[in-house]
Amino acid sequence: MKVLANDGISKAGEQTLKNAGIEILDNRVAQDHVINFINENKVDVLLVRSATKVRQNLIDACPGLKIIGRGGIGMDNIDVEYAIEKGLYVINTPTASSKSVAELVFGHFFSLARFLHESNRLMPLEGETHFDAMKKSFSKAYELSGKTLGVIGFGSIGQEVVKMGISLGMKVIVLTRKPKTKVLTLEFFDGQTLNFEITSTNDMDAFLNEADFISINTPKTNEYIIDTPQFEKMKDGVYIVNTARGGVINEVALIDFIESGKVAGAALDVFEKEPNPEVLLLMNPALSLSPHVGGNTVDAQEKIGVELAEQIIKIKETIQ
C-alpha cells in the first residue's frame, strides 16, 4: 500500500505507517498535478489537510485510490458523500486537535481581556514615549474567573472549551440546535478527576443575553450564526472568539458593533475571505487575529498523524 501525504504528516504518523510495512510518499504535489501523480505512482491512500482539494473529478480520475484521509475535523475540501458512493473509505481525525483549538480560544480571550494584542503592537512603537498613557488606557481589563462563558457548539472542541472555562472558575452555558446533556471529565496532574454534567440550551436569546465571553465552535454553516439580530441581543462589552469557520459570523456587522461599543473585543482565527482577509479586519485594534492556526501545534500534529496511520492500518487489514 502507498500513501501520499500531500499536505504533510507528522514523523510519528510516518513511522507508524512504516512500521506496518506501508510506503509513505512525502511529496508536495501541486493541485493541477495530483491526479497524474496518484495514477503514475499507483497511490492507494491520499492524505490531505486544507490545501489539497479532493473533488469529484479527482475521485473519478483516480480509480486506484482506496482511502482519502483528512488531517483534522472539517472535510470541506473533500467531496465526502461522492467518495463514499464510489466505494472509497473517507477518514479524518475529529478529536486530535481539540485541545489545541480550545487553548487558542483562551489565548485570544486572555489577550483581549488584558489588551495584550494591542499592547504588543504599540509597545515597540510607543513604549518609550507613551508608557504611562498606555498603562492608563489598558487598565480597564477583566478577569475571566467568575464571568459567564458561552460556547456555541458542543462537539469535541466545544467540550474542551467548556472544560477549560470550568477550570478557570467561569460559569458555563452551551448553545446547540437541540438541547443535549453530556458528562465532561476534568483530569488533573495527580490523577484526580471531576465530572460535570452540562446541559445545553437552544434558547439563543437567553444565551446571548447572559454570556460575557462567547466562543464559536461549530462546523461550517451555510448562513451566519451571528449576525446583526444576534449582536443586538448580546450583553454590552461582550468578547467573542471564532475558531470555527469563516462565514459563521458576519464580519462587517462585527466591525459595526465593535465601533458602537456593544462588542468590547473579538478574535478571529478564520475568515470569510480566507486567505485574503479584509484589510478593515486586519487593521482594527479591537481584534485579536491569527492565521487559521487552531490545530497547528506540534502536539496536535503528532496525534493527527498517528490517528490517521492507525485508521489506515486497520482498513488495510480489512481489505486485504
Locus of grid cell 454553516: 221
pLDDT given at position 72: 87
User: Which is catalytic among the residues 14, 245, 251, 307?
Assistant: 245
Neighbours of 289 (CB within 10 A): 16
- Is 121 catalytic? The answer is no
- Is 55 catalytic? The answer is no
What residue spans of the chain are helical by DSSP H?
A: 11-19, 34-40, 56-61, 80-85, 98-113, 116-126, 131-137, 156-167, 204-210, 228-233, 251-260, 279-282, 298-319
- Is 33 catalytic? The answer is no
Give the angle subtended at the CA of 316 by the CAs of 312 and 317, to the nearest 5°: 125
Spell out the per-residue pLDDT of the chain, length 320, in tens.
999 999 999 999 999 999 999 999 978 999 999 999 999 999 999 999 888 999 999 999 999 999 999 998 888 899 999 999 999 999 999 899 999 999 999 999 999 999 999 999 999 999 999 999 999 999 999 999 999 999 999 999 999 999 999 999 999 999 999 999 999 999 999 999 999 999 999 999 999 999 999 999 998 888 999 999 999 999 999 999 999 999 999 999 999 999 999 999 999 999 999 999 999 999 999 999 999 999 999 999 999 999 999 999 999 998 86
Whole-angstrom distance, CA of residue 109 vs CA of residue 244: 15
In order of start, what are the domains of the chain with their CATH numbers?
A: 2-93+298-319 (3.40.50.720), 98-289 (3.40.50.720)
The pTM assigned to this predicted structure is 0.89
Give Dmax (Cα) for the chain: 71
Strands in 148-152's sheet, in edge-to-edge order, are 171-175, 148-152, 213-216, 238-242, 263-268, 287-289
User: Which is catalytic among the residues 23, 130, 210, 292?
Assistant: 292
User: Which is catalytic among the residues 274, 278, 302, 310?
Assistant: 274
